Amino acid sequence: MEQEGFEIGRIVKATAGRESGKLFMIVGIIDENHVWLVNGKNRTIDKPKKKKLKHLKPTEELDYQIREKILGNRQIFDSEIRKILEALGYND
C-alpha cells in the first residue's frame, strides 16, 4: 500500500508541524495517508512519529539496507538511523 515516493527506508522532510524542515526516515506504513517516522534521536525506533503524507516531502534518498532489515523483520538501531541522516547533513 505504498504511495509513490513514500516507502520504507525513504528519507523525507517534514513540511508542517513543530518538526517542519527536519529530516526523518520512514520505517512503517500505516495506511494510504499515514506513516511512521524516526530520526534516531527524539523520534526513536521504540517511539516513532505518526505523520500524514500530505505533511511530508520525499527526498531522492532511499536506504536499501535499512529497508531490507525492516522488511526482513531484523533489528535496526537508532544509531544506524542517526548515521544515515547525519551523512545527509542533518544534525539537529
Alpha-carbon distance of 61 to 30, in angstroms, equals 21
Sign of torsion over alpha carbons 10, 35, 57, 16: negative
Q: What pLDDT score was predicted for residue 90?
A: 74
Q: Mind spelling out the 3-state secondary structure of the chain?
A: CCECCECCCEEEEECCCCCCCCEEEEEEECCCCEEEEECCCCCCCCCCEEEEHHHEEEEEEECHHHHHHHHCCCCCCHHHHHHHHHHCCCCC
User: What pLDDT shows up at residue 92?
Assistant: 60
Question: Any idea where the domains of the chain sit in the sequence?
Answer: 10-87
10-87 adopts what CATH topology? SH3 type barrels. (2.30.30)
pLDDT truncated to tens, each residue of the chain (92 aa)?
456 789 999 999 999 989 899 999 999 999 999 999 999 999 999 999 999 999 999 999 999 999 999 999 999 999 999 999 999 887 66
Q: Which residue has the cell 495506511?
A: 31
